[in-house]
Structure 1
Amino acid sequence: MPIRPDHRWLYPIDWRELSHFVRFQRAKGRCEHCGRPHGARVRHLGDGRWYDEERRCWRDDRGRRVRGLVSPERMPRQLRLAELAGEPALPSTRVVLASAHLDHDPGNNHQRNLAALCQRCHLAHDRPEHRRRRWATLFRRRALGDLFLGIYR
């Protein structure tokens, strides 16, 4: 997730090195919440379940093994026919790890406050903070509009 320009001064000078350490040394290139590997193209079902190619099994959104699902190669005939026609049978995404602040405070760069998260887990973790910021932004815009343009209709 890109750093907002107004928050850039909260990050230390060595943020790149710190982020790299958290993502690749400590987490070994995997999401610390769901276990998805960095840089891999992962096939998923859209509800959080994804296929772990390395371990040849399905996993849920917390990285736990899911039983009862067959491998993508043994999926129903309709999916295989779609794949032969050039359409992807299962949607896939490329996993990118990012360092996330667990308490949403970019000034708190302690190791216990940082986690290596894939984009899906990072968005899920930051959802309440994004809602709060969205509300604040809309509130600020509306207040400026009331101040300079009058009451909204």
Structure 2
Amino acid sequence: MPIRPEHRWLYPIDWCELSAMVRFGRAGGRCEHCRRPHGRRVMHLGDGRWWDETLSAGAGGWRDGRGRRVRVDPPRQLTLDDGTGPVPPRTTRVVLATAHLDHDPGNNRLRNLAALCQRCHLAHDRPEHRRRRAATLRARRAVGDLFS
């Protein structure tokens, strides 16, 4: 995710090197939450399950949204939990980003940084995005009250 210009001063001058060290040095080019590999196209079902071709000595296997191996019968692998029927697998390209676990861009300690794929990053930031959205809506309503 690009850094907003107004937040750029919160990041250290060597942020690119620090981010690369977290993503590729410590995490080994895989998401630290779900283990998806950086730069590859992975097949997924949209509910968090994804196909890991390196699982089981090259034979591959399904993983869940937390990177754990999913052991399900082959006919049930491609169905949604609500039972609506078969879901065609989709593919997506995985891109790792370095996320601040406490949502504070000024806290750049290594234990506060994690290499996350786009799905895990959005899931991690969901409460913070909701909080910011609510604050923005309240501010818009307050400005609207001034002029009505």
TM-score, with structure 1 as normaliser: 0.83
1:20 shift after superposition: 0.5
1:58-77 superposed matches below 5 A: 58-70=62-74
The number of residue pairs the alignment matches comes to 133
* Paired amino acid for 2:130: R
Rounded to whole Å, the distance in 2 between the matches of 1:9 and 1:124 is 26
Alpha carbons 1:58, 1:69 under 8 Å: kept: no
Q: Which runs of 5+ in 1 are unaligned?
A: 76-88
CA deviations on 1:49-95 (whole Å, 9 max, x unpaired) are 0000122110000000011244xxxx8xxxxxxxxxxxxx4211100
What percentage of aligned pairs have identical amino acids?
Answer: 76
Which structure is larger by alpha-carbon Rg, 1 or 2?
1
Paired residue secondary structure (1:46) = coil
Alpha-carbon spacing, 1:69–1:15, altered in 2? closer, same or farther (3 Å): farther
After TM superposition, the runs of 4+ consecutive aligned structure 1 residues lying more than 6 A away are none
Distance in 2 (alpha carbons) for counterparts of 1:115 and 1:41: 21
Q: Counterparts of 1:120-131 in structure 2 under 5 Å?
A: 120-131=119-130
Q: Which has the higher helix share?
A: 1
The RMSD of aligned alpha carbons is 1.5
Contact 1:50 1:58 in 2 (8 A): yes
